[in-house]
């Protein structure tokens, strides 16, 4: 099996889905001739032509709006945000139009909205955002955020075949930094299922995207100190896999949640509430959080480093929690 | 293409306009009886625009109405009971009470996309519908409406611009009813005719008397057929007047009385009745026959709505996601293999027809000549050429060596204005 990056896995899923089903089309800014700002869609235009790989004006609202319209005729558009930060430009089209369509009048919107997200590459306040919770908080949308190449390919295929609008977040720090063996043929990873990345008995660390890797590195460090952390990678934020989280907390009795998103209103709060509601008596210590602070993402490397969750921060919080 | 109407079609237009008005009259009564759950938005005075435009569509064509386009919904096959039950939030309504007013649609049979309250959003959506229809080989046209108020939204611009760059088979009816809630059109848009905006998008446009149903129909029919022939999109401005407030709660005191009087004298239904008389297209007997049919249908559908139950509370939690309740399948009217390699494959390069330079400037001897553009040369101007910015390939301004190079460069000589003599 060939080793490919997360970016190549996403590209592979796009090629395979476009080959499998002519109803799949791609739409976005600079995705055709140029191949996308990160080259995710490179080669798609040459193979599938301008009717299926549509370069648009700089108009996020028009991109998402047109994708909604296409989906009503049975197409399965994959729309790209050049950077996920720009989704703010089409917030209305996503949250009011696409998200409410099925509930209001029974019109499904089988659309994927994908884009590079997250920090760690010195993109500054407008090219580093983690806006996933805006959409987790919008009923009608599904939110997927893979951390491995295998999951990226399998989840993107599931997202394209899903009958609902799926927001597919791609962590740009991981794009070319992780590599793994990914089957070159067709497979899917189900939306709504978390993965236990490392088994442990002392505490549970729930995380996703780049922070899942941070958490795994922290768990390896803690293991040398005799603390065995179980690491859960959420993979999908909406719908959330409550069962996997609760089962792990019932086993380890301690919960730490780590994410790159800002603290207030981040998914850690929601997970803490779920665990308090459904596994309160299983807890042996307070629920701990390692998150970004409630600020925009800063530009200068020392500032961004201070902003992002790190292996040290996760390990320190885990050590504190393990004392209970 | 003909835009001529048969005598039956003339009477059908009357039927729809009168049905629209009588239906809304009844809803005003229901509103006063507290039987309408939310707001009620009147289209009084705008019936000819709703009906004349939608009448130009074929059953295969798609439309997305605005809240005042109840007439368009009737033309496309919706029944008064749909409108009654929607406004009364009944379980029997097209949305089962999940949304109200004209906020409903029909993907499969009538090809109607539900409106949302955020104006402008339907423009990119219907552009997408038009693009998908063309992609699937369906030869459909998509139509939506926007008000003078909604034409100031960003979605209007983004949507119409995308439609224009795609040459989408899309008709946008700009229903200029003079008022955006309480603000007159003159305070919203500084152009005389809203249709003039089409020029900026490089698309064709028409202006029509929105209270003349025949003119509206003929204009819309031409636009629809132009789009079907691949010459879209088209913007139609229909000049009309909102004869009530924004909604029932609004007495519209801000509208000058004389303005209402001016437009009352141009009432679309009274005008059309005079037209039918003048052209001997009906007689008193025919008119009372149609009017009686309308009352009969409305009686029946109003009764149906009033007797319908409210939705069960547990419905509130259902239907957020499609969990397999819908089968999604595109209707292909062209061979799929055209859209798969090798047929779909292209050379991924841009073909740039001219290099986009300022046509008034004479090229110096050293510059490579631009390809001949078919456009006429621009007028001479005082605008100076921008000094050239050299960004070496692969090295952006962030690159240290580039910075260094910029610092070491001798200061540029003052730029001399070039003036072309005639």
* String of DSSP letters for A184-253: SS-----TT--EEEE--SSEEEEE-THHHHHHHHHHHHHHHTT--EEEEE-SEEES--HHHHHHHHHHH-
Please tell me whether the peptide bond between B56 and the residue prior to it is cis, using omega within 30 degrees of 0.
Answer: no
Task: Answer yes or no: is the ipTM higher than 0.95.
Answer: yes
Specify which residues B205 forms β-bridges with: B235
Nearest by CB to A69, from B129, B322, B328: name it: B129
Which residues of A does the annotation mark as catalytic?
A: 127
Minimal CA–CA distance to B381: which of B361, B362, B364, B395? B361
Tokens matching residue A219: 């768990």
Our measurement of the distance from residue A286's CA atom to the centroid of its chain's CA atoms, rounded to an integer in Å, reads: 27
For a pLDDT cut of 70, what percent of chain B falls above it?
86
- Contacts (Cβ under 8 Å, ≥6 apart) of B418: B361, B362, B384, B385
In the stretch 82-101 of chain A, residues with CB closer than 8 A to chain B read 92-93, 96-97, 100-101
From the list B138, B161, B341, which residue is nearest A47 (CB)? B341
Residue with tokens 């249908």: B297
| H or E stretch at B336 | none
Instruction: Say whether B322 and A102 touch across the interface (CB within 8 A).
Output: yes
Residue closest to B24 by CA, chosen among B82, B92, B70: B70
Tell me if B183 sits within 8 A of B212, measured CB to CB. Answer: no
pLDDT digits (tens, 9 = 90+) for B407-420: 666 555 555 554 55
pLDDT, tens digit (0-9, with 9 covering 90-100), for A141-171: 999 999 999 999 999 999 999 999 999 999 9
Residue A198, both tokens = 């490392």
Nearest CB to B158; choose among A51, A62, A106 = A62
Q: Chain A to chain B, count of Cβ pairs less than 8 Å apart? A: 190
For residue B396, name the pLDDT band (cuts at 50, 70, 90). Answer: very low
Residues of chain A neighbouring B347 (CB-CB closer than 8 A): 46
Give the bridge partners for A198, in sequence order.
A231
pLDDT value for B400: 52
- According to the model, what pLDDT value does residue B384 have? 37
Separation in Å, CA of B10 to nearest CA in chain A: 32
CA-to-CA distance for B407 and B400, rounded, in angstroms? Answer: 11
| CB-based burial label for A15 (10 Å; 0-12, 13-18, 19+) | middle
Model pLDDT for residues A12-22, shown as the tens digit of each residue: 999 999 999 99
pLDDT exceeds 50 at position B10: yes
pLDDT band at B372 (very low <50, low <70, confident <90, very high): low
The pLDDT value recorded for residue B352 is 87
Q: Report in angstroms the alpha-carbon separations of A300 from A120, A125, A291, A293, A304.
A: 11, 10, 19, 16, 6
Mark yes or no for CB contact B128/A69 under 8 Å.
Answer: yes
Compute the residue count for chain B: 422
**How many Å apart are CA A290 and CA A324, to the nearest integer?**
17
Cα–Cα–Cα angle for B377, B379, B382, rounded to 5 degrees: 130
CA pair distance B27, A244, nearest whole angstrom? 52
pLDDT at B371: 63
Estimate the crossing angle of helix B47-54 against helix B7-32, to 10 degrees: 130
DSSP assignment letter at A93: I
State the distance between the two ends of chain B, measured CA to CA, in whole angstroms. Answer: 47
Q: How far apart (Å, rounded) are the C-alpha atoms in residues B91 and B310?
A: 5
- Tell me which of A159-168, B72-81, B184-193, B274-283 is least confident: B184-193
B358 pLDDT band, cuts 50/70/90, is confident
Question: Is B339 in contact with A75 (Cβ distance < 8 A)?
Answer: no
Q: Write the burial class of residue B359 (CB in 10 Å: 0-12 exposed, 13-18 middle, 19+ buried).
A: middle
Measured distance CA(A289)–CA(A259) in Å, rounded: 8
Of A57, A92, A105, the CB nearest to B165: A57
Q: For residue A164, which residues of chain B lie inside 8 Å, CB to CB? A: 321-322
Residue B28: pLDDT above 50? yes
C-beta atoms of B128 and A56 within 8 A: no
pLDDT beyond 70 at B387:
no
- CB contacts of A78 in chain B (<8 Å) are none
pLDDT at B362: 66
Minimum mean pLDDT range among A158-162, B132-136, B249-253: B249-253
Q: Which residues of chain A are within 8 Å of residue B164 when distances are taken between CB atoms?
A: none
> What is the C-alpha separation between A181 and A137, in angstroms, rounded?
34
Q: For residue B318, what is the nearest residue in chain A, using CA coordinates?
A: A103
* Closest-CA residue of chain B to A138: B320
- Cβ–Cβ below 8 Å for B116 and A110: no
Find, among B86, B127, B75, the residue nearest to A104 by Cα. B86
Note the pTM of the prediction, 2 decimals: 0.91
Residue numbers in A near B131 (CB within 8 A): 54, 66, 69-70
pLDDT at position B360: 75
- To the nearest whole angstrom, how far is the Cα of B413 from the nearest Cα of chain A? 36
Contact list, A43 vs chain B (CB under 8 Å) = 348
Distance, CA of B64 to CA of B105 (rounded, Å) = 8
Strands (E) in B295-370, as ranges, are: none
Radius of gyration of chain A (CA): 19
CA distance B178 to B185: 5
CB contact under 8 A, A69 and B125: yes
Q: Do A51 and B113 touch (CB under 8 A)?
A: no
The better pLDDT of the pair A98, B382 is held by: A98
Q: Write down the pLDDT at residue B363.
A: 65
The most distant pair of C-alpha atoms in chain A lies apart, rounded to whole Å, by 60
Contact residues, chain B, for A141 at CB < 8 Å: none
Average pLDDT for B79-92: 98
Nearest of A169, A168, A80 to residue A117 by alpha carbon:
A169
A79 touches A160 (CB < 8 A)? no
Burial class (CB in 10 A: 0-12, 13-18, 19+), A1: exposed
Per-residue pLDDT at B282 exceeds 90? yes
Q: Would you give the DSSP letter of residue A3?
A: E
Q: What is the pLDDT of residue B408?
A: 63
Give per-residue pLDDT as tens, B52-64.
Answer: 999 999 999 999 9
* Cβ-nearest to A164 among B135, B322, B336: B322
By Cβ distance, the residue of B103, B344, B348 closest to A52 is B344
The helix/strand/coil state of A25 is: strand
Phi and psi for B359 in degrees, rounded to 5? -70, -20
Return the SS3 of B31.
helix
Question: Which pLDDT value is given to residue B380?
Answer: 37
What percent of chain B lies above the pLDDT cut of 90? 82
pLDDT value, residue B305 = 98
B95 → closest Cβ in A52, A93, A105: A105
What is the pLDDT at residue B405?
A: 55
Q: Which of B103, B118, B154 sits opposite A104 (nearest CB)?
A: B103
Residue A1 confidence class, pLDDT cut points 50, 70, 90: confident
**Cβ <8 Å between B155 and A92:** yes
pLDDT tens by residue, A234-261: 999 999 999 999 999 999 999 999 999 9
CA of A49, closest CA in chain B: separation in Å?
5
Q: Which DSSP string corresponds to B188-202?
A: T--SS-GGGHHHHHT
Q: Residues B219-228: what's their mean pLDDT?
A: 98
Does residue B377 register a pLDDT over 50? no
The alpha carbon of residue A237 and the mean position of all alpha carbons in its chain are separated, in whole angstroms, by 7
Task: Give residue B403's pLDDT band: very low, low, confident or very high (50, 70, 90).
Answer: low
Q: Which residues of A touch B348 (CB under 8 A)?
A: 32-33, 35, 43, 45-46
**Any idea how long chain A is?**
324
Task: Collect all residues with Cβ–Cβ distance below 8 Å to A302 and sequence separation of at least 6.
Answer: none
Query: Which residue of chain A comes nearest to B159, CA vs CA?
Result: A62
Strand (E) or helix (H) holding B122:
helix B122-135
Residue A322: CB atoms within 10 Å: 19
Q: Which positions in chain A touch B98 (Cβ < 8 Å)?
A: 103-105
Nearest chain A CA: its distance from B378 CA (Å):
25
CB contact under 8 A, A65 and B116: no
Q: Is A56 on the interface with B (CB under 8 A)?
A: yes
| Main-chain phi, psi angles of B147, to 5 degrees | -90, 175
From chain A residues 142-161, the ones with a CB under 8 A of any chain B CB are: 142
Supply the DSSP symbol for B112: B
Q: Per-residue pLDDT for B406 more than 60?
A: no
- Indicate the pLDDT class of residue B379, thresholds 50, 70 and 90: very low
**How much is the mean pLDDT over chain B?**
89
Position with higher pLDDT, B404 vs A288: A288
How would you write A134-192 as a 3-class SS string?
HHHCCCCCEEECCCCHHHHHHHHHHHHHCCCCEEEEEECCCCCCCEEECCCCCCCCCCC
pLDDT in tens, A85-131: 999 999 999 999 999 999 999 999 999 999 999 999 999 999 999 99
Place of tokens 């990056």: A5
Decide if A48 and B336 are in contact by the 8 Å CB cutoff: no
| Shortest CA gap B350–chain A (Å) | 7
Calpha distance A272→A321 (Å, rounded)? 14
Interface of A with B in 99-128 (CB under 8 A): 100-108, 110
Q: What is the mean pLDDT of residues A177-195?
A: 97
**Chain B nearest CA to A111, separation (Å):** 12
Name, in order, each residue with C-beta under 8 angstroms of B19's C-beta and a sequence gap of 6 or more.
Answer: B74, B80, B294, B297, B298
Helix or strand run (H / E) with residue A260: strand A255-262
pLDDT, one tens digit per residue, over B138-193 is 999 999 999 999 999 999 999 999 999 999 999 999 999 999 999 999 999 999 99
- Which residues does chain B have within 8 Å of residue A22's beta carbon, measured at their own beta carbons? 336, 339-340
Q: Locate tokens 């969990």: which residue?
A: B323
């Amino acid at each position: 099996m060939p080793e490919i990056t997360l970016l190549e896995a996403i590209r592979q899923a796009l090629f395979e889905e476009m080959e499998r089903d002519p109803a799949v089309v791609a739409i976005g800014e600079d995705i055709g001739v140029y191949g996308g700002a990160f080259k995710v869609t490179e080669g798609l235009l040459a193979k599938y032509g301008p009717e299926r790989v549509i370069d648009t004006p700089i108009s996020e609202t028009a991109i998402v709006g047109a994708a909604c319209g296409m989906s009503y005729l049975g197409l399965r558009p994959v729309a790209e945000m050049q950077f996920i930060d720009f989704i703010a430009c089409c917030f209305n089209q996503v949250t009011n139009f696409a998200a409410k369509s099925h509930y209001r009048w029974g019109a499904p919107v089988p659309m994927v909205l994908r884009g590079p997200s997250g920090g760690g590459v010195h993109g500054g306040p407008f090219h580093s955002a983690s806006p996933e919770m805006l959409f987790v908080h919008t009923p009608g949308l599904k939110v997927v955020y893979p951390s491995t190449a295998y999951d990226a390919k399998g989840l993107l295929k599931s997202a394209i075949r899903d009958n609902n609008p799926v927001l597919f977040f791609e962590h740009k720090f991981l794009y070319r930094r992780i590599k793994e063996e990914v089957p070159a043929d067709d497979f899917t990873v189900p939306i709504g299922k978390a993965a236990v990345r490392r088994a442990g008995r002392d505490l549970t660390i729930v995380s996703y995207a780049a922070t899942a890797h941070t958490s795994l590195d922290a768990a390896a460090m803690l293991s040398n100190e005799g603390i065995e952390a179980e690491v859960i990678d959420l993979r999908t934020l909406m719908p959330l896999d409550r069962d996997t989280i609760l089962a792990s907390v019932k086993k380890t009795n301690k919960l730490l949640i780590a994410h790159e998103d800002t603290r207030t209103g981040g998914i850690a709060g929601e997970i803490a509430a779920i665990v308090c509601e459904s596994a309160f008596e299983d807890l042996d210590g307070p629920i701990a959080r390692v998150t970004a602070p409630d600020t925009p993402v800063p530009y200068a490397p020392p500032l961004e480093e201070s902003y992002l969750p790190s292996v040290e921060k996760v390990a320190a919080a885990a050590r504190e929690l393990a004392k209970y | 293409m003909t835009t001529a109407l048969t005598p039956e079609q003339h009477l059908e237009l009357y039927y729809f306009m009168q049905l629209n008005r009588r239906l809304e009259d009844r809803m005003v009564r229901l509103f006063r009886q507290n039987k309408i759950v939310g707001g009620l938005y009147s289209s009084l005075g705008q019936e000819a625009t709703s009906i004349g435009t939608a009448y130009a569509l074929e059953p295969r064509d798609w439309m997305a109405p605005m809240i005042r386009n109840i007439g368009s919904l009737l033309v496309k096959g919706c029944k008064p009971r749909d409108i009654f039950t929607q406004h009364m939030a009944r379980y029997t309504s097209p949305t089962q009470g999940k949304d109200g007013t004209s906020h409903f649609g029909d993907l499969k049979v009538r090809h109607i996309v539900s409106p949302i309250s955020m104006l402008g959003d339907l423009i990119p959506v219907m552009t997408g519908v038009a693009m998908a229809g063309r992609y699937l080989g369906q030869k459909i046209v998509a139509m939506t409406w926007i008000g003078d108020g909604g034409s100031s939204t960003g979605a209007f611009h983004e949507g119409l611009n995308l439609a224009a760059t795609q040459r989408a088979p899309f008709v946008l009816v700009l229903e200029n009813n003079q008022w955006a809630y309480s603000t007159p059109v003159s305070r919203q848009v500084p152009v005389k005719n809203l249709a003039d905006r089409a020029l900026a998008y490089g698309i064709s446009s028409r202006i029509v008397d929105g209270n003349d149903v025949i003119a509206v129909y003929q204009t819309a029919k031409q636009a629809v057929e132009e789009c079907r022939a691949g010459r879209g999109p088209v913007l139609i401005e229909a000049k009309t007047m909102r004869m009530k407030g924004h909604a029932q709660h609004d007495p519209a005191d801000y509208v000058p009385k004389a303005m209402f009087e001016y437009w009352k004298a141009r009432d679309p239904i009274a005008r059309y009745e005079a037209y039918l008389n003048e052209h001997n297209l009906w007689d008193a007997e025919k008119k009372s026959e149609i009017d009686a049919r309308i009352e009969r249908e409305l009686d029946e559908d109003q009764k149906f709505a009033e007797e319908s139950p409210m939705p069960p509370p547990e419905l509130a939690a259902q239907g957020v996601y499609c969990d397999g309740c819908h089968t999604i399948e595109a209707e292909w009217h062209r061979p799929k293999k055209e859209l798969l390699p090798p047929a779909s494959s292209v050379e991924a390069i841009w073909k740039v027809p001219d290099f986009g330079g300022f046509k008034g400037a004479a090229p110096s001897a050293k510059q490579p000549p631009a390809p001949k553009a078919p456009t006429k040369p621009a007028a001479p101007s005082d605008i100076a050429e921008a000094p050239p910015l050299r960004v070496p390939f692969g090295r952006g301004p962030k690159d240290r060596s580039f910075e260094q190079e910029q610092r070491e460069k001798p200061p540029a000589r003052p730029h001399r204005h070039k003036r072309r003599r005639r």
